[in-house]
Structure 1
Amino acid sequence: MAIDESSSKENPRICTVLGGRSFIGRSLVQLLLKSEQWTVRIAGSAPSLILDRKEQNSILSDAVSIGRASYFQVDVREKSQVCEAIEGSTVVFHMDALDLSVHDIYHHYMVTVQGTKNVINACRECKVKRLIYNSSADVVFDGVHSIHNGDESLPYPWRYEDRLSDFRSQAEALILFANGTDGLLTCALRPSNVFGPGDTHFIPYLIGEARSVRAKGMVKICVTSPMLTMLPMPIFVQSKLYVQGWLLWLERPWIHLPAMLVLIVVVLLEWVHKKFGPHINCQPQLNPSLVHFLSCTRTFNCSNAQKQLGYSPIVSLEEGVTLTIESFSHLSGDSSYLRYRDCNKPSKVDKLLGGGKVADILLWRDEKKTFTCLLALVFLLCWFFLSGRTFISSMARLLVLVSVILFIHGILPFTMFGFAIEKIPPSYFEASETVLKDRLTFLATTWNEGVVCTLRTLAQGDDWSLFFKVACSLYFLKLFLSFSFPVMASVGLVLAFTIFIVYEQYEEEVDKLLITSHSYVKKSKEFLDGHLPPFLAAFLSNNQRLGQDDRSSQKHQ
């Protein structure tokens, strides 16, 4: 913000902050008073200025006592009240302090759009030189498409997902259109997801929603997708700070799901609600607009602000998050479960899957690859088992289809309609001898160490525990084989893409359940051993002792 040369500590200029008691307005007032170059008029909807506990002995309270700060009750829907507050001001900051607790579309329109018209007209009548409007980055966001490195040249979308963004875009257009009229210079700032100490909307909304869902016994879904950011930095860093800081206070369980999967489920639930809403008492907790908002990447280029205004962040993002967490630390006072899991440490299921491409696909770390593999497997399932054809005929048709696709791809030129077409190298159709030997060696080793060793132990007849395990496994396999193969393949496909990611999120709970189950099985075994008939107990004891002797003699040999 440029300051007139004549402005100084001895001769401060007058500025008015409309919405000066809002979250952003309070911080702006503090900075203006701290510069000691402005006499600040604070305008708000409250009848009088009420200082909270933290403001009792602050710059604001001192400025009010010596007359460097004053308060005006202003309703922006009344132009006369605006004129009274800004009369004699050099700069007017219009913070658009809309009360989001009021769910009235007409009220929002009158305050945002009509109120901005009144502010512009009042500034022209009172000969105000500068008008700065606090807009929002939502005015260039359609709620669906991501924004990468956006700047001031972005156009307004043809439609918005919510009315409030539409109203703000209209207000911003009025501000920019008024630039240069009657000597009034205007500009609009577009902050995005502003947070900090004293926040009354963003962080309380996150915590309140999560706690209300938890209180209802429902699962809180955290979309693992990029969130909104003000600075050009990796989005996952800010999301991680949110989770490690504010949302750390909230009770688990958490389910981290890919955005596309959540969107499909939300759209399905919304359709069910619209179709059966009158007959069932349920209301979806999420809507497609919110999922789109949370799953879209939005980054903006601040180079023009740096070049033309000399802008540089006073507080870094990490420091801002730290200060905010400290200011909301009282919310964690009733929490006895401040648990945190190191997200950088590989999980057990990640180690089980090898931590490579298979883990990335089955744990939904790369949505495109996961959905590609899922659709390919579904296509093969339908092609081979749900089409009604035999396996040989389905295989023959698939080979014909692949041959046609490869032939067409081979005769295409290297460029078409301005797009480069990558040719498939011959190495893609070859398998090296080393890879084949490694695979065959792995299969042979697995067979020898698993099946052959198990069969040898069973043939010796000295391990009843292994016998019962094998018998139960074969029995359950018999039950599975009683179902048709297409049904088994479908169930297996669904489980493969869900059970691993669910176990990763509930790793501690599942491990505790397994430990508990194992203890019950062990106690049941001890109970049975203590109540077996004497002759059967003696027989099992002798066989177990003979088996141990045989194993020890084999080791010595």
Structure 2
Amino acid sequence: MVPILSNKNSSLGNVLVIGGCGFLGHHIVKILHSSYNCTISVIDLHTSRNRLPESDGVKYFNGDITSIESILPIFLQTKPEIVIHTASPTLTGASRELYRLVNVEGTRCVIEACQKVSVTALIYTSSASIISDNVTDLINADEKWPIIPAKSQSEYYSETKAHFLIVRLTPITAQAEALVLTANRSASHPSLLTCSLRPAGIFGEGDVQLIPNMLKVYENNKTGFQLGDNCNLFDFTYVGNVAQAHCLAAVALKATSSLSTTPLSHEKVDGESFIITNDQPIYFWDFARAVWRAAGSEKSTQHVWEISKDLGMLIGGIMEWTMWCMGKVPSLTRRQVRYSCMTRYFDCSKAKRLLGYRPDVTLREGIERSVRWFEDQKTSKFSKNEKYG
């Protein structure tokens, strides 16, 4: 049994997208609007960005998920049957405290609100990184791989004004996922079905990390450097495919809720996590060069200066220490070196089998769409500056 329904022919009812004005969230809203029969509402801290036109019928609400008093009235007003929870601070701008507040305490509030208004399905955006210690290679990793405990996590940093604060953010995401999955068919609220999606390396239009950073390297004419030997396969996933996976999970949970019996363990969607990728592992620097080619680069790899991992770690350590003493941000860190040299790809067979997931947009097309979007944004900003002086 695979509980998959057709898109337009089956109603999802009232859908509430939390974080629906964010990078991933607004892509989910677009796909729901264009491909599914449902009424869409959005909660976000700031709803002035990434909005669909009012004529499209999407309702937007400013709300703080860390406060049940803030979001419960919105739940009561919109009466969602399905909640898709994507809200999370960006890694580059959040302290550990804010990340924990939003991802853990915020998720608690979301679950509480779901339970109070009898929501049918809750889909949570987790991360494939929760099974990574950011040191060990991941080779065709799947959902059976263990979640890495906090004591084994040493990565992801947030910038502060004077130094780098090493924070363990990935375990926080794992805690939030655990809250969501534990809420599935709980004794006190057995009608609430939940699942989590673990996307790997999201990129696309509206990206605030991966693509803009790679484009910055190109614009600064630094594409002649390469960390490592480029023999490490990596998973990058186009945001539209990740958004579609969330919609498919909503369809599957809605279908499960109408069953008179509980699915067998190998058929279950509720209470489960799903890795989401483009199903196209690529060598790390091949992806970067594809981005640069889409931006107009015509350089070959003949004159690329390859910096070994060991040398890169040495340089990164020196730069971190030097810039820390000066109260500045280093242009190269040991984290970046490790990340660029890791093998890190996953198996998304479970999502394909149980959700009917297939990545509709290839890596090449996703890269071209992404770079085109950023170029359009730059042109639009330039035109406005020209117009208003």
Query: Is residue 135–residue 190 contact of structure 1 (8 Å, CA) maintained in 2?
Result: yes
Query: Is residue 26–residue 50 contact of structure 2 (8 Å, CA) maintained in 1?
Result: no
Distance in 2 separating the partners of 1:172 and 1:281 = 35
- What is the match of residue 112 of structure 1? 103
Distance in 1 separating the partners of 2:7 and 2:125 = 26
- What is the match of residue 168 of structure 1? 173
1:228 correspondence with 2:234:
yes
* Residue aligned with 1:190, SS: strand
Match of 1:83 among 65, 68, 72: 72
1:255 correspondence with 2:308:
no
Distance 1:330 1:92, change over 3 A: closer
- What is the match of residue 35 of structure 2? 35
1:304 correspondence with 2:350:
yes
- What is the match of residue 63 of structure 1? 56
Distance in 2 separating the partners of 1:265 and 1:234 = 28
- What is the match of residue 139 of structure 1? 130
Query: Is residue 140–residue 155 contact of structure 1 (8 Å, CA) maintained in 2?
Result: yes
Distance 1:147 1:95, change over 3 A: same
What is the TM-score with the length of structure 2 in the denominator?
A: 0.70
Distance in 2 separating the partners of 1:85 and 1:139 = 31
Distance 1:331 1:120, change over 3 A: closer
What is the Cα deviation at residue 290 of structure 1? Answer: 2.0
What is the Cα deviation at residue 96 of structure 1? Answer: 2.1
* Residue aligned with 2:59, SS: strand
Distance 1:283 1:310, change over 3 A: closer
Query: Is residue 7–residue 13 contact of structure 1 (8 Å, CA) maintained in 2?
Result: no
Counterparts of 1:434-449 in structure 2, within 5 Å, are none
CA RMSD of aligned residues (A): 3.3
Match of 1:264 among 314, 317, 321: 314
What is the Cα deviation at residue 200 of structure 1? Answer: 2.9
Query: Is residue 146–residue 297 contact of structure 1 (8 Å, CA) maintained in 2?
Result: yes
Distance 1:267 1:239, change over 3 A: same
Query: Is residue 225–residue 306 contact of structure 2 (8 Å, CA) maintained in 1?
Result: yes
What is the Cα deviation at residue 283 of structure 1? Answer: 5.6
Distance 1:332 1:245, change over 3 A: farther
* Residue aligned with 2:278, SS: coil
Q: In structure 2, give the amino acid aligned to 1:22.
A: G
Distance 1:234 1:137, change over 3 A: closer
Q: In structure 2, give the amino acid aligned to 1:302.
A: C
1:95 correspondence with 2:145:
no
* Residue aligned with 2:212, SS: helix
- What is the match of residue 385 of structure 2? none
Once the two structures are superposed, residues 170-219 of structure 1 have per-residue CA deviations (whole angstroms, 9 ceiling, x without a partner) of: 111111122211121111101112111222332123334665xx49xx99
What is the Cα deviation at residue 100 of structure 1? Answer: 4.6
* Residue aligned with 1:323, SS: helix
Q: Which runs of 5+ in 1 are unaligned?
A: 334-557
What is the Cα deviation at residue 122 of structure 1? Answer: 1.2
- What is the match of residue 370 of structure 2? 324
Distance 1:85 1:220, change over 3 A: farther
Distance in 2 separating the partners of 1:193 and 1:106 = 23
Counterparts of 1:530-545 in structure 2, within 5 Å, are none
Counterparts of 1:390-539 in structure 2, within 5 Å, are none
- What is the match of residue 115 of structure 2? 124
Query: Is residue 121–residue 194 contact of structure 2 (8 Å, CA) maintained in 1?
Result: yes
What is the Cα deviation at residue 18 of structure 1? Answer: 0.0
* Residue aligned with 1:76, SS: coil
Query: Is residue 227–residue 309 contact of structure 2 (8 Å, CA) maintained in 1?
Result: yes
Distance 1:27 1:146, change over 3 A: same
Once the two structures are superposed, residues 468-503 of structure 1 have per-residue CA deviations (whole angstroms, 9 ceiling, x without a partner) of: xxxxxxxxxxxxxxxxxxxxxxxxxxxxxxxxxxxx
Distance 1:7 1:314, change over 3 A: closer
Distance 1:5 1:290, change over 3 A: closer
Query: Is residue 249–residue 332 contact of structure 1 (8 Å, CA) maintained in 2?
Result: no
Q: Which runs of 5+ in 2 are unaligned?
A: 157-167, 236-276, 380-389
Q: In structure 1, give the amino acid aligned to 2:346.
A: F
Distance in 2 separating the partners of 1:176 and 1:36 = 25
Distance in 1 separating the partners of 2:203 and 2:132 = 19
- What is the match of residue 271 of structure 2? none
Once the two structures are superposed, residues 127-153 of structure 1 have per-residue CA deviations (whole angstroms, 9 ceiling, x without a partner) of: 111110011111111110110011111
Distance in 1 separating the partners of 2:290 and 2:210 = 15
Distance in 2 separating the partners of 1:296 and 1:227 = 8
Match of 1:73 among 28, 39, 62: 62
- What is the match of residue 206 of structure 2? 198
Q: Which of the pair has more CA radius of gyration?
A: 1
Distance in 1 separating the partners of 2:331 and 2:7 = 55
* Residue aligned with 1:328, SS: helix
- What is the match of residue 15 of structure 1? 15
- Mean Cα displacement is larger for which, 28-37 or 140-149? 28-37
Query: Is residue 176–residue 186 contact of structure 1 (8 Å, CA) maintained in 2?
Result: yes
Greater strand share, 1 or 2?
Answer: 2
Distance in 2 separating the partners of 1:255 and 1:332 = 30
* Residue aligned with 2:88, SS: coil
* Residue aligned with 1:322, SS: helix
Query: Is residue 13–residue 37 contact of structure 2 (8 Å, CA) maintained in 1?
Result: yes
Distance 1:246 1:174, change over 3 A: farther
Greater helix share, 1 or 2?
Answer: 1
Distance 1:23 1:49, change over 3 A: same
* Residue aligned with 1:118, SS: helix
1:314 correspondence with 2:360:
yes
Distance in 2 separating the partners of 1:80 and 1:332 = 39
What is the Cα deviation at residue 291 of structure 1? Answer: 1.3
Query: Identity of paired residues, percent?
Result: 27
Q: In structure 2, give the amino acid aligned to 1:244.
A: R
What is the Cα deviation at residue 80 of structure 1? Answer: 2.5
What is the TM-score with the length of structure 1 in the denominator?
A: 0.50
Counting matched residue pairs gives 312
